[in-house]
Amino acid sequence: MESYDKNLLEEVEMLRVSVIVLALCLVATMLAPVALADQFDKKTVLTVNEPIQVPGKVLMPGKYVVKLFDSLSNRNIVQIFNEDETEVLATIIAIPNYRLHPTGETHFSYWEAPVNKPVPLKSWFYPGDNFGQEFAYPKETAVEIARESKELVPAISTEKAAELPSAEVGLVDQSGKESILEQAPQSWTTEPAVEPPPRVDAAPEPVQAAEPAPVEKPETLPETATNLPLMGLLGLGSIGAGVMLRFFAKRTA
């Protein structure tokens, strides 16, 4: 009788463990898509303590949600929503910005602004990313920012949301001179380009085979979504299946 009671208690305990494991699998299944979605759109909460300027809009103190536009073809369109994400307040074209050492926190930077005027939002980096977004302003506003900051400022040729994906983005200086941006550099500078030295003709030298130059590896790479949630889910499922099989094996023995 004691042996029967002991076996019954063991079976009940195994069944309880199985239920717990299966419940954990269900929770992991529900949380994994949310984590992947946040990684894709870079959802970030922006808390504003004083009025700030974004392209085409002034944000008053409060909380806002910043996301990448849901597009696979263009990952440089940013949307700003109200706190509960029921209204799109601004759709902004941006250019890639680069940082060598990413941090584990969201980082927003701002341009300089005159006293008593909203500070213009400059860039946004998602936690752990090397590449972020630098916002392009309408040309007139970009020139004003350039005059205050004495730096080159990204400028956009249109403010219409439908035309943003194909709009030209340039860089303007404090005088209003604009250059078309063909490829986003890692940092903007007003220093003149260095001209290469003049070529001197000389008698050709014998060509010798040269060893290929070693390829430098980047210090860090941008983080992307991983399969860790799926792997964890499969592991939990395996544990649950093993416990259940052991339970039914003992029942039939």
Q: pLDDT confidence of 243, banded at 50, 70, 90?
A: low
If 0-12 CB within 10 Å is exposed, 13-18 middle and 19+ buried, where does residue 144 land? buried
Q: Residue 44: is its pLDDT beyond 90? A: yes
Residue 70 domain-assigned (yes or no): yes
* pLDDT for res 118: 96
Nearest Cα neighbor of 120 from 48, 53, 62, 49 is 53
Lowest-pLDDT range, 70-74, 78-82, 242-246? 242-246
Q: pLDDT confidence of 231, banded at 50, 70, 90?
A: low
Domain coverage including residue 72: 2-180+234-252
CA distance linking residue 163 with residue 92, whole number of Å: 11
| Residue type, position 13, single letter | E
Residue 186 domain-assigned (yes or no): no
* Higher-confidence position of 182 and 180: 180
| Beta carbons within 8 Å of 18's beta carbon, 6+ residues apart | 240, 243, 244, 247
pTM of the model: 0.58
* pLDDT for res 28: 42
Residue 208 domain-assigned (yes or no): no
* Higher-confidence position of 116 and 164: 116
* Higher-confidence position of 133 and 249: 133
Q: Residue 210: is its pLDDT beyond 80? A: no
* pLDDT for res 12: 58
| Beta carbons within 8 Å of 134's beta carbon, 6+ residues apart | 94, 95, 96, 97, 122, 123, 154, 184
* pLDDT for res 198: 47
Nearest Cα neighbor of 32 from 239, 197, 235, 202 is 235
* pLDDT for res 32: 37
Question: In this structure, are residues 67 and 44 in contact, taking their beta carbons and an 8 Å threshold?
Answer: yes
Total domains in the fold of the chain = 1
Mean per-residue pLDDT over the chain, rounded: 73
Residue 156 domain-assigned (yes or no): yes
* Higher-confidence position of 164 and 9: 164
Max avg pLDDT among 6-15, 20-29, 68-77, 180-189: 68-77
* Higher-confidence position of 162 and 37: 162
* Average pLDDT over every residue of 142-170: 86
* pLDDT for res 95: 92
End-to-end CA distance of the chain: 17
Residue 229 domain-assigned (yes or no): no
* Average pLDDT over every residue of 83-88: 96
Residue 31 domain-assigned (yes or no): yes
Q: Which two tokens stand for residue 17?
A: 């463990």
* Average pLDDT over every residue of 188-208: 42
* pLDDT for res 132: 94
Residue 88 domain-assigned (yes or no): yes
Residue 197 domain-assigned (yes or no): no
* Average pLDDT over every residue of 245-249: 58
Q: pLDDT confidence of 17, banded at 50, 70, 90?
A: low
